[in-house]
Amino acid sequence: MTCYTDRKTTDNVVEAASHGELCTSPPLNQQLSKFSQEVVDLLQHSPRCCLPFSRFVPTYHHHFGRQCRIANYGFTKVIELFDAIPHIVQVLSTQLY
């Protein structure tokens, strides 16, 4: 499924992906598992299970009532965190003309 935003530029979009397995240490795996469940819940409340990349953190904060602290999962960037859960999210780059 390809998701598009209403902008006529290149946008990053977060999309629900198929299930897979995590390959991390047990404590981090547990934290990523909880985050994965939260992401699924968040995307299920988004149109077409898609969310513009730039809106993920504020939408997470609004939906769960707390900050999304990337460092709690051992990462410094949201994209790195998403890369750790490819079975849950897929970041797409789309271009509209």
CA 73 to chain centre: 13
- Predicted confidence (pLDDT) per residue in 36-65, tens digit: 999 999 999 999 999 998 899 999 999 999
**DSSP H or E segment with residue 43:** helix 26-44
- Mention every residue, 6+ apart, whose C-beta is less than 8 A from residue 67: 61
- Predicted confidence (pLDDT) per residue in 11-26, tens digit: 445 554 434 443 456 7
CA 77 to chain centre: 12
Q: Kindly report the CA angle at 27 between 21 and 32, in degrees rounded to 5?
A: 45
Task: State percent of the chain over pLDDT 70.
Answer: 70
For residues 90 and 12, the answer to whether their CB atoms sit within 8 Å is: no
* Full-model pTM: 0.71
For residues 70 and 77, the answer to whether their CB atoms sit within 8 Å is: yes
Cα 61 to Cα 22, 26, 34, distances in angstroms: 24, 26, 15
